[in-house]
Structure 1
Amino acid sequence: MEMPELPRRIYTLGEEPPTLHSISYHTCWTLHAALKKALHDDEYEELKESKLGVFIKFQELGFDWASRLVHYMLGFQLDINKKYELWSLVGPEPVRFSLLEFEHLTGLNYEYIEDLQRPHSVVRKVLTSFWEMLGVHVEAGPSTQEIIAALERCEGWSRDDRKRLAYPVIFTRYIEGRKYSTPTRVSLARLVMELERFETYPWVRVAFKVLMDSVKGRDISGCYTINGFAQALQVWVYTVLPELGATFGNPLPNNQSPPILAYKGRKGRYL
């Protein structure tokens, strides 16, 4: 059976942008340390076992970022029209990165809802009071910098308020994944006032859109920074190229699930 004709490559084979430059993602190593210090042990364990706890568990892996590997896959992209799909041609067959793959990697809820990016929330007194505790204007979302500052002074807060402060750590670090000083989107940050709603929100869709908006159609000829959960791309490569993942992904025993918890990653040359 003949293979269907594939879309053309974005970069001619053998002429992909070299990996001489840096590819990075936004991170703040002090954020997780501040979170762990601020929460009581049982609160931290409760957060880790919550529906969003997969990100805390991922942080604890000490995952090694392999920028060259991600750069290679972006250089092997096919030129397709679908805005939220990425296809790379490695060898004879293309591999896809889409919402379905991202959901599989994280194991999180990806239910479709209307107004995903701007969920409705009412500005009540309890919200304005909590935003005052954060030290943030009620019409803005907290930045990583402001979240860390709040973590350092939250000892006397109620258990629920400390939990409301903990969730934005996950939001700003793994879902938004933007600059240290960039405010999070207030419409989404306000969801912390409804803890169950925040925990069950389809964050996979939000995180996936942030990541794809950052990499799809990106100029990768120089130094560049990826927004969002960039490490998901690296784990995706390990899963679609299992021999490479087994050799270079530093896989953990017992086939951990979801896949983002199955590898510790490894720096260095791959291809």
Structure 2
Amino acid sequence: RIFAIGEEPSRVRVTAYRKPCALRHIFNALDPDEVERIRGSQFGRLLEIADKPSFSGRFGRYIISRQLKVSKKHEAWFVFAEKPIRFSLREFAIVTGLNCGRFAKRSKKRCKSHITEKPYWGELFGTLKEVPVSS
């Protein structure tokens, strides 16, 4: 546990009445084709969040203040109703709708061989062994 039993921050109230005005202002400033591009991407859920009741920041703070210390890299455990609850990368993907899978492997593009090209410094500066800054 990050906080001992009974030592968690108290008087943290959760409110769900806050609306995501900033997101709505951003989407109102975009052109319709830009909004559609976002809607088609993995960030399309932001549009849904802007239209629905928001996730309360205080609720996030409430959960994090009851976080358990674990060694697994992609999991967070919390105490809720005195029981441990896992919130892993999988649950994060389900809740947010973001693509949290592995990155697609890039295909290695063959680059052209530039070995046959000759150096161009001689053409730029001549055949001088030393090129002073003043020239």
Matched, 1:58 2:32: no
Q: How does 1:136-175 map to 2 (within 5 A)?
A: none
Structure with larger RCO (C-alpha < 8 A, sep 6+):
1
> CA contact under 8 A between 1:87 and 1:96: conserved in structure 2?
yes
Q: In the TM superposition, what is the alpha-carbon distance from 1:34 to its structure 2 partner?
A: 4.3
What is the rounded CA distance, in whole Å, between the counterparts of 1:15 and 1:57 in structure 2? 37
SS in 1 for 2:103: coil
> How high is the TM-score relative to the length of structure 1?
0.30
Q: In the TM superposition, what is the alpha-carbon distance from 1:36 to its structure 2 partner?
A: 2.2
1:18 to 10, 13, 24: 10
What is the rounded CA distance, in whole Å, between the counterparts of 1:95 and 1:47 in structure 2? 36
> How high is the TM-score relative to the length of structure 2?
0.55
SS in 1 for 2:40: coil
What is the rounded CA distance, in whole Å, between the counterparts of 2:55 and 2:98 in structure 1? 22
Q: How does 1:80-229 map to 2 (within 5 A)?
A: 80-113=70-103
1:79 paired residue number:
69
What is the rounded CA distance, in whole Å, between the counterparts of 1:93 and 1:86 in structure 2? 14
What is the rounded CA distance, in whole Å, between the counterparts of 1:64 and 1:55 in structure 2? 12
Structure 1 gaps, min length 5: 1-8, 21-26, 116-271
What is the rounded CA distance, in whole Å, between the counterparts of 1:65 and 1:99 in structure 2? 20
Q: Residue 112 and residue 94 in structure 1: after superposition, are their counterparts in 2 closer, same or farther (change >3 A)?
A: same
Larger-Rg structure: 2
Deviations 1:127-186 (A, max 9, x none): xxxxxxxxxxxxxxxxxxxxxxxxxxxxxxxxxxxxxxxxxxxxxxxxxxxxxxxxxxxx
What is the rounded CA distance, in whole Å, between the counterparts of 1:72 and 1:91 in structure 2? 12
What is the rounded CA distance, in whole Å, between the counterparts of 1:28 and 1:60 in structure 2? 10
Structure 1 stretches of at least 4 aligned residues deviating more than 6 Å after TM superposition: none
What is the rounded CA distance, in whole Å, between the counterparts of 2:57 and 2:45 in structure 1? 20
Deviates more, 1:96-105 or 1:82-91: 82-91
% same residue: 29
Q: In the TM superposition, what is the alpha-carbon distance from 1:99 to its structure 2 partner?
A: 0.6
**Greater share of helix residues, 1 or 2?**
1
SS in 2 for 1:112: coil
> CA contact under 8 A between 1:77 and 1:89: conserved in structure 2?
yes
SS in 1 for 2:98: coil
Superposition CA RMSD, Å? 3.1
Deviations 1:187-212 (A, max 9, x none): xxxxxxxxxxxxxxxxxxxxxxxxxx
